[in-house]
Amino acid sequence: MSCNNKALLTGNKVVVILLFLLSLVHSSESLRPLFACDPANGLTRTLRFCRVNVPIHVRVQDLIGRLTLQEKIRLLVNNAAAVPRLGIGGYEWWSEALHGVSDVGPGSKFGGAFPGATSFPQVITTAASFNQSLWEEIGRVVSDEARAMYNGGVAGLTYWSPNVNILRDPRWGRGQETPGEDPVVAGKYAASYVRGLQGTAAGNRLKVAACCKHYTAYDLDNWNGFDRFHFNAKVTKQDLEDTYNVPFKSCVYEGKVASVMCSYNQVNGKPTCADEGLLKNTIRGQWRLNGYIVSDCDSVDVFFNQQHYTSTPEEAAAASIKAGLDLDCGPFLAIFTEGAVKKGLLTENDVNLALANTMTVQMRLGMFDGNLGPYANLGPRDVCTPAHKHLALEAAHQGIVLLKNSGRSLPLSPRRHRTVAVIGPNSDVTETMIGNYAGKACAYTTPLQGISRYARTLHQAGCAGVACAGNQGFGAAEAAAREADATVLVMGLDQSIEAETRDRTGLLLPGHQQDLVTRVAQASRGPVILVLMSGGPIDVSFAKNDPRVAAIIWAGYPGQAGGAAIANIIFGAANPGGKLPMTWYPQDYVAKVPMTIMAMRASGNYPGRTYRFYKGPVVFPFGFGLSYTTFTHTLAQNPLAQLSISPHNLNSVLFNSSSHSIKVSHANCDTFPKMPIHVEVANTGELDGTHTVFVYAEPPINGIKGLGMNKQLIAFEKVHVTAGAKRTVQVHVDACKHLGVVDEYGKRRIPMGEHKLHIGDIKHTILVQPQV
């Protein structure tokens, strides 16, 4: 071997050693004390529950069999106690990841090597993208960052997200956390985000454990003297089956979620966390949940101390566990479960069943495997990466909705609009953009900063905060608008107006915001663009009808990169393609509809709720959103126009003569032909753009009592089409799944008659009839 080769080899060894040392540094950043089954602890070698080659259910039973009753009870709460004699650490179950890892729950915290995490747009904004692959990808990124933080010892592996309640009432302060008003969209969002979070590992393993909340019919926090701790939601079987429970069923069936959270409220006189019909019989029985059921925080305490549902705390503990609750967020079960067992209200086996569900999830997460598993390599460098930040920006681009664009005022031109007045209480905000249940963002780009990348800016807040109590700043705002080539007003809401425990009383812009918009629009010498930040809808009819307001953009709460996304859309670097995931009602709607009425369907003077049942005027409808280009739809092939249901399609020939329908449970749905619908989408404009194809079904009018449905979204697809090109979207219509409706008894039926499919301006009729 030559001297040169020896030197080369020596140099290679040095490089290898350096790389090895660097890997150790990275590992030291990400290693945390093992939760259980540490190989360094000689005790664990004798414990069967630590053996990874043993089936999980056997390991769980072995562990439960080694615990005393007192040890078991201390594991029924979110801050589960350690069991040192078995080498098991304490664990905090409560972490949140609604749209990024959050420090709202005690299980996760920021600081040191983890100063922040990627903060994506609030859920209502991301839902407006109607992009299922985006929803799943966000979940995947969030779980990467969650695992990295877990490895670093600053987060858990159980995340009580997403919130999949229906945005039934536009005033609800937590509507921002949800995917909107449509149960199908909420269900698809739930399944997609959960798949992203939990991963698709073999062997039933979990990357992190998600939780769909708040089950069920929970959508009132604090309105007109009614609060969520005392509210009894009176819900019909029909509404429960075809609206409120739909996202949760999808979350369990399609998303395979590892947990469901029961809510504070009662449903028809029973606390949800003590309702065996809702928990044990439905979630675990009918839907076959493979996971655990957890209470919203202090819910068991709430139904004892505030709802007075039971006479003693021991009865409350017993009622919740026997109903199917496995874990209490709060100390109640740790305090009163032993007394319930001693009084014979509960057996130790009831406790064992609850623990089996929680421990199984921990086993599936790898917490008893004696190592950090396949995600051990994730650490600080995997949080707030350039790719993650770019995804947050792209999510904001896709979720922002263009509501008005008179005379194609947008996009602005950096050449013609060199000076832009940026005005409004939300024009230079940071935390407002990430909404609630957020963490510490990696970094922010405010609207002012984003617009400053394209033009010289003149900035005036106009109001001191969104409450906009006075008009002292109006003059300076008007002066800026007179000097500028264009004016961008960034108005709307924040958590002081809509939030958890804070429902709105009306739908108008707060304080003097409307006056500020009107006065600035009158003063501006260039086009005026109104940008709205909010979770819930706002009645901006005045701006919609004001010719001096050239454009309106709804940005929702657009996340850490929201300001950059808003600016990119205003100046045409991104083409808006978002669609509203909720109806924007006029202000007088809320005067007719108390938040406490849970009915979805119109009746008498009651106008109904959401696009599915409401028949009155709107400011902007569900699914509305403009683009800088134009799209047309055509049916690419002649779809099926008739479906005949023959006796061999039925378990028993049971036609209901009064409703002229068939129960879905009596139909052999697998034998029904799937009806393919091919929709050709043509981009007839000059810019590339994305478009959402919505397919609605309108059922026939027949004898099904209380149906009252306008139409129901059955499918949606996001498609990108370049200028002048065409793309074909294929949707398969399933008679049982898509043409079924729910009767007054909560049973799904397929009505006979003409079902109309609505696809844009196209209407296609499918005649469903019994074969004689």
Q: For the chain, what is the mean pLDDT?
A: 93
Residues 479-523 pLDDT 10s = 999 999 999 999 999 999 999 999 999 999 999 999 999 999 999
DSSP string, 322-355: HHT--BBSSSHHHHHHHHHHHTTSS-HHHHHHHH
Which CATH entry fits the domain spanning 394-591: 3.40.50.620, 2.30.130.10, 3.40.50.1700, 1.10.3720.10?
A: 3.40.50.1700
Per-position b or e across 531-547, b if 16+ CB within 10 A of its CB = bbbbbbbbbbbebbebe
pLDDT band at 605 (very low <50, low <70, confident <90, very high): very high
Query: From CA 75, how far away is CA 471, in angstroms rounded?
Result: 56
296 belongs to the catalytic site:
yes
**Assign residue 725 a region: left if phi > 0, alpha if psi is -120 to 50, beta otherwise?**
beta
Query: From CA 85, how far away is CA 94, in angstroms rounded?
Result: 24
Angle (deg, nearest 10), helices 132-151 and 386-399: 150
pLDDT at 5 over 80: no
Asked if residue 610 lies in contact with residue 168, where contact means CB atoms within 8 angstroms, the answer is yes
At residue 9, the 3 state secondary structure works out as: helix
CATH top class, domain 631-770? mainly beta
Residue 700 CB-half CA count within 13 A: 17
Residues 224-269 pLDDT 10s = 999 999 999 999 999 999 999 999 999 999 999 999 999 999 999 9
* Strand intervals (E) in 263-400: 266-267, 270-271, 292-295
**Assign residue 656 a region: left if phi > 0, alpha if psi is -120 to 50, beta otherwise?**
beta
Residue 691 CB-half CA count within 13 A: 30
pLDDT at 647 over 80: no
Over residues 216-231, the mean pLDDT reads 98
Query: From CA 761, how far away is CA 393, in angstroms rounded?
Result: 32
pLDDT of residue 656: 61
Provide the sign of the torsion angle of the four alpha carbons 278, 284, 287, 293, taken in this order: positive
Asked if residue 630 lies in contact with residue 684, where contact means CB atoms within 8 angstroms, the answer is yes
Q: Pick the catalytic residue: 296, 328, 382, 743?
A: 296
- Strands 456-460 and 741-742, by their bridges, are unpaired
Q: Which helix (H) or strand (E) holds 765?
A: strand 762-770
Alpha-carbon Rg for the chain, nearest whole angstrom, is 28
Take residue 118 and report the two structure tokens written for it: 């990627």
Q: Three-state SS string across 45-110, please?
A: HHCHHHCCCCCHHHHHHHHHHCCCHHHHHCCCECEECCEHHHCECCEECCEECCCCCECCCCCCCC
Compute how many other C-beta atoms are within 10 angstroms of the C-beta atom of residue 726.
15
pLDDT of residue 513: 98
pLDDT at 557 over 80: yes
All CATH 3.20.20.300 domain ranges in the chain, comma separated: 76-106+156-193+209-362
All CATH 2.60.40.10 domain ranges in the chain, comma separated: 631-770
pTM: 0.94
The label of the residue with tokens 């009596």 reads: 666
- Give Cα separations from 37 to 30, 73, 413, 573 (angstroms): 18, 21, 62, 53
Assign domain 76-106+156-193+209-362 to its CATH superfamily.
Answer: Glycoside hydrolase, family 3, N-terminal domain (3.20.20.300)
With a CB cutoff of 8 Å and minimum separation 6, the contacts of 539 are 507, 508, 584, 585, 586, 587, 619
Query: From CA 118, how far away is CA 192, in angstroms rounded?
Result: 19
pLDDT band at 31 (very low <50, low <70, confident <90, very high): low
